[in-house]
Structure 1
Amino acid sequence: MSTIESFNPSAWLRPPHIQTLLPRLVFRSRQWYGQWETFALNDGDFIELCWHPHATPDSQRPLVVLFHGLEGSVDSPYIWQTMEELAEHGIDSVVMHFRGCGKTPINLLPRAYHSGDIGDPTAVILALRERYPNRSIHTIGFSLGGNMLVQLMSTELADVLTSAAVCCAPLDLMSCSKRIDRGFSRLYRKYLLTPLKQKFTIKQQRGMFKDCTQLNSLDVNKMTSFLEFDDKVTAPLHGFSDVEDYYHRASGKQFLKQIRKPTLIVHANDDPFLGPDVVPHLDEMNPHVTYEKHPHGGHMGFINYQHRFYSWLPTRLVNWVSEKEAEQL
């Protein structure tokens, strides 16, 4: 386990809420971005992949699969900026959108996605490995996608991957659920819960929960916390008995010891989304894990300014991928 504290923004950029909110304000939207692919799932549903505009499917260049955070997409600054940085270093990339997070906001089945949902990422990675048998495949997960990726890297699927990087991941879900219920962080809670409730309501109106009386009659608009939403919606929709069962089984920290390939984990000490229990102890790690906790950065921020605003995080991630790629030569 190694700890590096190297992100040091200008003093006026250090407050965590500035770090968290600024990317959406200073970086332009990229909704048009990329080459889209509909990926059919075995249960009859689908997800959407978005490739970097200059990706070359027939090349032998390294490929990075990115997993976004809760209700994120290729339009999220941390996603498209990382894809741009990878392209500048000759590395192809594709972002896997969780169900209902791509251009099509409502998926075909009642279920959606959750913090421990490794099924769809597994299907995508296996398909990409079959499609490109000679390319090295790396993975990067952000926030919810990072928590999921920790679990995935503890499975046999990691054997077909070269490396992983995990950013701002809520590795202890109960701790993070309580943290986002406090102070200014409640603003983020409302921002993230609103689209989840909207999608659930649309599915209700379409009769997608008609076989489940509990969900069909549920009024999610009265819900104000993740704890309640995950207990009444996420847990029953995805096979968990209740929110405690969901948070316990889906939290990534318990899988760190089983990680099978080089994995970088990046946290900011001032992240307003994350509770203190996300930080792993030394006895919870293994030699494949490189852990970095930076004093500043907020949640998915890591913003600095030098003649222009820029994010430090994509450079760190590309350096990691390049380093692990070089080790294969």
Structure 2
Amino acid sequence: MLGSSPMRRRRGERELAALRPITTEHIVDGGDGVRLHGLHSRIEGAPPRGLALLLHGWEGSAESSYMRLTAAQLLRAGFEVFRLNFRDHGDTHHLNEDLFHSNRIGEVVHAACDIAQRFPARPLMAAGYSLGGNFALRLALRAPVAGLPLAHVAAVCPVLDPARTMEVMEAGVGVYLGYFERKWRDSLVRKRALFPELHDYDNRTLKQGMRELTRWLVERHTDFGTIDAYFDGYNIAGERMAGLQVPASILTSEDDPVIPAADFRELRLPGTAYLEIARWGGHCGFLLNGKLDGYGEHWVAERLSAAASP
């Protein structure tokens, strides 16, 4: 809760602004007419060590506190940074008619290839938080076939088995479930206002709980048919990352209330993958002190910097 507090947001704004980066907005190609928005930042006059693509969590955005704080750490480490907004995140609901869902990995891969061509600084890295960590790892799985020159990925508290995450949230104290339900409903209301002829769902639909609202999304707005097939579509647990060819670093915590640490111990990972399970940290929190310094953003910068070293 403190990790997403106004204090952290203000700190992210201050730290990024203090570096005075040159930041430009871009609309990148997600394929099949999909348009995604992102922010490219660099320090003027500094030859880059590489390009870091950052992916936010569900209902976050390129302007989330952890995205800004991680961007600041990476800029200090000599990287150029591209913060990508997923479809319907940030102020991007108007860019595409169809709704976001977690299996839209194809457009993120396509966008990453476009970004790599626009900004050819090498090596190319990627990092993500929560659902963004899941996307980053799936991006790495698909990079060789897509021709994406991805050198390393870092994932903080990535979603592994979404069906299990749903069960854990439903059995928990309700803070996380309520937070995401509220944010998702707000997003769907915004989408309906922009495209009323395409999205004519009523408020009764929006009042459903997380599981039923997800089931509605799957049945009405995807080709998966069932919620189980949908969850399986972006499941990366167990042996699903055994064939990962891109070196990867993964950080989680023993006390994550959303994604059980036991699931990470059951992962079958290649020798080029590094897994760190911290004693404390919550879900993407990892606060170090009263100033709300975060271990997560330092960890991402350290892992990508080490990977970029000769």
TM-score class, shorter: 0.7 to 0.9
State the Cα deviation string for residues 121-147 of structure 1 (Å, max 9, x = none): 211221122234452100001100111
Report the alpha carbon displacement of residue 250 of structure 1 after superposing the two structures with TM.
0.9
Paired residue for 1:12? none
Question: Percent of counterpart pairs with the same letter?
Answer: 20
| AA at the equivalent of 1:42 | G
- 1:120 paired to 2:107: yes
Paired residue for 2:221? 237
| AA at the equivalent of 2:111 | V
- 1:266 paired to 2:251: yes
User: Contact between 2:50 and 2:122, CA under 8 Å: does it hold in 1?
Assistant: yes
User: Contact between 2:56 and 2:85, CA under 8 Å: does it hold in 1?
Assistant: yes
Task: Quote the Cα distance in structure 2 between the aligned partners of 1:60 and 1:195.
Answer: 36
Q: Secondary structure at the match of 1:72?
A: coil
Paired residue for 2:2? 21
Give the TM-score of the pair, scaled to structure 1: 0.81
State the Cα deviation string for residues 141-166 of structure 1 (Å, max 9, x = none): 11001112222211224761110001
Paired residue for 2:176? 188
Paired residue for 1:6? none
Paired residue for 1:36? 25
- 1:164 paired to 2:148: no
Question: Could you tell me which of 72, 75, 80 is aligned with 2:60?
Answer: 72
Task: Quote the Cα distance in structure 2 between the aligned partners of 1:265 and 1:48.
Answer: 26
Q: 1:314 to 1:249 in 2, by over 3 A?
A: same
State the Cα deviation string for residues 23-81 of structure 1 (Å, max 9, x = none): 414323439974321224433332110123x3559955311000100011122221111
User: Contact between 2:53 and 2:127, CA under 8 Å: does it hold in 1?
Assistant: yes
Paired residue for 1:3? none
Q: Secondary structure at the match of 2:25?
A: strand
**Pairing of 1:304-323 with structure 2 (within 5 A):** 304-305=288-289, 308-323=291-306
**Pairing of 1:241-256 with structure 2 (within 5 A):** 241-253=225-237, 254-256=239-241
Task: Quote the Cα distance in structure 2 between the aligned partners of 1:280 and 1:158.
Answer: 31
| AA at the equivalent of 2:294 | S
**Pairing of 1:94-243 with structure 2 (within 5 A):** 94-114=82-102, 116-133=103-120, 135-155=122-142, 156=144, 157=146, 160-184=149-173, 186-205=174-193, 206-209=195-198, 216=201, 219-225=204-210, 227-234=211-218, 236-243=220-227
User: Contact between 2:50 and 2:80, CA under 8 Å: does it hold in 1?
Assistant: yes
User: Contact between 2:50 and 2:121, CA under 8 Å: does it hold in 1?
Assistant: no
Task: Quote the Cα distance in structure 2 between the aligned partners of 1:290 and 1:279.
Answer: 11
Task: Quote the Cα distance in structure 1 between the aligned partners of 2:27 and 2:121.
Answer: 23
User: Contact between 1:23 and 1:77, CA under 8 Å: does it hold in 2?
Assistant: yes
Report the alpha carbon displacement of residue 217 of structure 1 after superposing the two structures with TM.
5.8
| AA at the equivalent of 2:76 | E
Task: Quote the Cα distance in structure 2 between the aligned partners of 1:42 and 1:219.
Answer: 34
Question: Could you tell me which of 73, 86, 92 is aligned with 2:74?
Answer: 86
Q: Secondary structure at the match of 1:65?
A: strand
User: Contact between 2:52 and 2:81, CA under 8 Å: does it hold in 1?
Assistant: yes
Task: Quote the Cα distance in structure 2 between the aligned partners of 1:100 and 1:90.
Answer: 30
Tell me: higher relative CO, structure 1 or 2? Use CA pairs within 8 A at least 6 residues apart.
1
User: Contact between 1:235 and 1:246, CA under 8 Å: does it hold in 2?
Assistant: no
Give the TM-score of the pair, scaled to structure 2: 0.86
**Residues 315-324 or 54-63, more deviating:** 54-63
Alignment RMSD (CA, Å):
2.6
How many matched pairs? 298
Task: Quote the Cα distance in structure 2 between the aligned partners of 1:64 and 1:288.
Answer: 19
| AA at the equivalent of 1:195 | K
User: Contact between 1:165 and 1:264, CA under 8 Å: does it hold in 2?
Assistant: yes
| AA at the equivalent of 1:45 | V
Paired residue for 2:276? 292
Q: Secondary structure at the match of 1:26?
A: helix
Task: Quote the Cα distance in structure 1 between the aligned partners of 2:147 and 2:271.
Answer: 15
Paired residue for 1:11? none
| AA at the equivalent of 1:151 | R
Task: Quote the Cα distance in structure 2 between the aligned partners of 1:202 and 1:60.
Answer: 38
| AA at the equivalent of 2:183 | P
Paired residue for 1:13? none
| AA at the equivalent of 1:108 | N
Task: Quote the Cα distance in structure 1 between the aligned partners of 2:108 and 2:46.
Answer: 22
State the Cα deviation string for residues 100-137 of structure 1 (Å, max 9, x = none): 213334443123131x3221221122112223445210
Gaps in structure 2 of 5+ consecutive residues: 18-22
Gaps in structure 1 of 5+ consecutive residues: 1-19
Q: Secondary structure at the match of 2:9?
A: coil
